Amino acid sequence: MSTEARVEGAGTDLLGAPPVWPASATVAPGGDLTIGGVSLSALADRFGTPVYVLDEQEVRDRARAWRRALPDAEVAYAAKAFLCRAVVDWIREEGLGLDVCSAGELELAVTHGFDADRIVLHGNAKSPEDLRAALRFGVGRIVIDSDCEIARLAAQVTGPKPQRVMVRVLPGIEAGAHKKIRTGAEGQKFGLSIAAGDAEDAVARTLGQPHLQLVGIHCHLGSQIATPEPYGAAVHRLIAFLARLRERYGVTLPELDIGGGFAVAYRPGDPAPTAAAYGQLISRQLTTSCAEFRYPTPRLTVEPGRSLLAPAGVALYRVLAVKRSGGQVFVAVDGGMSDNPRPALYGARYTVRLVGRPVSAPMRTTTVVGRHCEAGDVLAEDVELPEDVRPGDVLAVPASGAYHLSMASGYNLVGRPPVTAVREGRARLLVRRETFEDHRRRDVGL
């Protein structure tokens, strides 16, 4: 019998609960945990803490799952979840496109060999630098997000070929885990309203620009959408809108981008449908809606980001202090809101596991807090940790691959953690730790 065992929450259980840990996660002798065949406690010792670990094979497997779920669609990875050169390689090698929202993300990808024609640039307020970079590199699609962007973009197109564009619309659907990450409903900064007529006005103005080629419409409903049904509703409304545009302007737009926002599990029991479940409903609704409105099936694009990277990542911290106050236990670690702002921003909840030594003490409800001078610097509330947790212990936080380091800050001049990749028993450094020297070199005010 093997001395290793699967980690609870790594892979679906008998009730179909979604995975929290990468599929490769196993419990090793002595209480350690391995990911991709590599010991997490050994990684903490080798690279220091905090450190982020990405299971490369998990990313690749999830990319393949999305391609299988929607074989006729373009699957474009949402770079804002997390981007570095290794991730660019993985995404390109797995045949995905890329969705970016800044000149920085775009340049990192293109200068590392990613085909610009398979890149979509969007954003509610693109800077002149963003647009210049997109036109210079020749991105495949630019998503128009406001009326004022139409003429500004058209004026910058200097080549003989028009720039292919899409118009981001608001389908009037409220979906997502928190009001700060719901982007498909009325009354927020993204897109143009179908109901109010703003989207149709933008389409008409875009069609009047000879330097722009309108190829389709784009929407994004929000993030952490834990059921497929909102996507079905969006597809129906968007096909109806495309049919209306055909009637009024005589154009049959060939593309439809419904964005991302697909949920992942951060704690055991969190709802998170598989890529196949999302894909089945989206495909069925697309077929039904196109038949209803007699509209040719458009080329579909989806933009998963979190669902590829979050479950592949594990953050490792080292305990600095344990404090008992007011009947609560606080465990303070050497990271916090500077590398994971999601709990402070959205009230995000995580699970935590002690790794690297055997556990025999009873479990106790604990709050894991960060090192920063903010009462809101809480990484995980009401988690079960051994009663004898102590300084020097290593804590592992799964589902940490997305929207941690991509939103990290330099608060308190604490350097951002390194990123490592594991696969088949080997580990390598992808992004080095940010140091005090990095901060000092940027400070030129003497």
Active-site positions read 373
Q: How far apart are CA 221 and CA 227, in angstroms?
A: 12
Q: Is 341 helix (H, G, I), strand (E, B) or coil?
A: coil
Q: How far apart are CA 220 and CA 78, in angstroms?
A: 11
Q: Which residues contact 150 (CB under 8 A, 6 or more apart)?
A: 144, 202, 205, 206, 209, 212
Q: Is 326 helix (H, G, I), strand (E, B) or coil?
A: coil
Q: Which residues contact 56 (CB under 8 A, 6 or more apart)?
A: 36, 86, 90, 312, 421, 422, 423
In this structure, what is the dihedral angle of CA atoms 247, 249, 255, 257, given to the nearest 10 degrees?
-90
**Cis peptide preceding 398, ω within 30 of 0:** no
Report whether 165 contacts 215 (CB < 8 A).
yes
Q: How far apart are CA 101 and CA 118, in angstroms?
A: 14
Largest CA distance in the chain: 72
Report whether 100 contacts 444 (CB < 8 A).
no
- Angle between helical axes of 198-207 and 147-156 (0-180°, round to 10): 20
Q: Which residues contact 79 (CB under 8 A, 6 or more apart)?
A: 98, 99, 100, 101, 105, 109, 305
What number of CA atoms fall less than 13 Å from residue 98's CA on the CB side? 32
The residue type at 250? G
Structure tokens at 388: 């004898």
Strands (E), 91-197: 97-100, 119-121, 141-144, 163-170, 192-193
